[in-house]
Structure 1
Amino acid sequence: MTAALDVVLPVFLIIAGGWVAAWRGVMDGPAVDALMRFAQGVAVPVLLALSIGRLDLGASYDAGLFLSFYAGAFAGFAAGFFGARLLGRPATDAVAIGFAGMFSNSLLLGVAITERAYGADALSANFAIISIHSPMLYAAGILAMELARSHGQGLPAGQVARQVLRAIATQPMVQGIAVGLTINLTGLPLPDFVWGAMKMIGGAAIPCALFGLGGVLLRYRPEGDGRAIALVIVLSLVLHPAITWGLGTQVFDLTTAQLRSAVLTGAMAPGVNAYLFANSYGAAKRVAASSVLLATLISVLTIPVWLQMLP
């Protein structure tokens, strides 16, 4: 357990550093926002383009890997949606709560923890999962929300489809993924100095994003909605990785590297995107914000447990 904490604590120490810097006024709100804009709008997309551009797609894209991970993710969405409805929440709130239950922090925490635990060479399956993570889950979330808002009627299917595609295509992370896939599939020969520059910018992505995440988390306050928040935390930190672990070991016989990446990615707290999604629709904003904060804190204790269970 001590070794597992040695893996986890440096990552959360960087987040804590960002939180303290924002709390003490070393970085004010605009500075935190600027850091996150650089991380999410520039450095992270470059990291994704770099990593996916060099990914062995034939070896990394595995049906068992995707089914193990995304079955857990969509189980989290379904359990969050129906659990929220049982708690008396309206359908739009239930969609936002379900989205938080399925959208794990696959990049900022998942990649950082996996790399700390197993090294940079163990990240192929992480980036395979990430390459379809945002497009797939945002498409599902937006579609479910539009259906909930229109009560299954109203908006034409074509309009909903355009809205989904527009929302996905304008995300910088998705654009970085698209560039990486283009480089990979076309074999585009980039000069070494371009790869070198991308590596330098990409190297700043995770530390800057983690530090900025700490500053962002300072703004969130765990308020009310205790049962809904607890539901999201259990779905994110327990249900998703448990389903992924079960399918990966009992059904699909994933390799050790695939199992590590899939389970650890599934075991991450909800990403900030869960709050951004809720905020954009004005649905269950307090639940999403508090779930991101509290699940991130609690995951310091749960991630070492999953590390101990993995080979």
Structure 2
Amino acid sequence: MPLLVLAFGAEALPAAVVVFIVEMLLHFSVGLYMLNPRTSLWRMLRMPIVLASLAGLAVNISGLPLPGWLLEAMHMLGGVCIPLMLFALGVRLLEIDFSDWRTGMLGALLCPLSGLVIALPLMWLLPLNALQAAVLLVFAALPPAVLNYLVAEQYKLAPQKVASLVLIGNLGSLVVMPLTLAAAFTWVYAPL
């Protein structure tokens, strides 16, 4: 979200939040089902990110104002989450022997490519304005999330391979993201 706000300004934040919520709900429903088809719907609904997303949507739709102290506390907790995930990944990276570099390279290519293959048709099928389409395009090209490593660690599904995929995928984003932003500004979103 900070990248989208930096690129397109604060007016991109609502679209970025919606795309993020959809991605998180898919990650913790369809994604968990893919990892373990026996995962119960009840377990998926109890995930903190799902509960937080549903609570946030309910508060937003209801128009219920939240007290400032609660907003500040949530902002502080949210601000600590990404560094903690990066720390957990960093600990795992100390153990990487880079024998899985091929998996990482494949992820660095396929992650943004698969995201763009899905996003491009959606950009024309959904009634999106130029800013929303640009947000979707950039979000689709993002590298593999650190969150994938944490899920792989929790389910004991090749966390070292996933750590390699996340590391090399994020290094690959140093090439992919400038190209995607250039495409977004050239063909999708051309501010006056």
TM-score band w.r.t. shorter chain: 0.7 to 0.9
Query: 2:175 — aligned with what?
Result: 301
Partner of 1:292: 166
Name the counterpart of 2:34: 144
Across the two proteins, how many residue pairs are aligned to each other?
Answer: 182
Alpha carbons of structure 1 residues 131 and 187: separation in structure 2 relative to 1, 3 Å: same
Letter in 2 for 1:166: R
Q: TM-score, normalised by structure 2?
A: 0.79
Deviation at 1:197, TM superposition (A): 4.8
Tell me how far apart the structure 2 counterparts of residues 269 and 233 of structure 1 sit (CA, whole Å): 7
Partner of 1:144, secondary structure, is helix
Cα offset, 1:212, TM superposition: 4.0
When residues 246 and 136 of structure 1 are mapped into structure 2, their CA distance, relative to the original with a 3 A threshold, is: closer
1:133 equivalent among 23, 37, 49: 23
Question: Kindly tell me: are residues 258 and 217 of structure 1, through their superposed partners in 2, closer, same or farther at Cα, counting changes over 3 Å?
Answer: same
| 2:131 corresponds to 1:254 | no
Instruction: Give the TM-score, by structure 1 length.
Output: 0.51
Coordinate RMSD, CA, aligned: 2.6
Do structure 1's residue 202 and structure 2's residue 75 form an aligned pair? yes
Q: CA deviation at 1:203?
A: 6.6
Q: 123, 126, 133: which one pairs with 2:13? A: 123
- 1:170–1:244 CA distance, 2 compared to 1 (3 A): closer
Q: 1:181-224: CA deviations, max 9, x gaps?
A: 2212333344xxx1465157527735x44544543342223622
Q: Which of 1 and 2 has higher RCO (CA within 8 Å, sep 6+)?
A: 1
Question: Take 2:7 and 2:82, find their aligned partners in 1: how far apart are those partners?
Answer: 17
Q: Distance in 2 between matches of 1:174 and 1:294?
A: 28
Alignment of 1:1-311 (within 5 A): 111-147=1-37, 160=38, 163-171=40-48, 173-190=49-66, 194-195=67-68, 197-199=70-72, 201-202=74-75, 205-206=78-79, 208-219=80-91, 220=93, 221=96, 223-249=98-124, 251-252=125-126, 254-310=128-184, 311=189
Instruction: State the shift of 1:307 in Å.
Output: 0.4
Alpha carbons 1:134, 1:174 under 8 Å: kept:
yes
Letter in 2 for 1:283: L
Work out whether residues 125 and 261 of structure 1, in 8 Å CA contact, stay in contact via their aligned partners in 2: yes
Whose Rg is larger? 1
Greater mean deviation of Cα atoms: 137-146 or 238-247: 238-247
Native 8 Å contact 2:4 2:12 kept in 1: yes
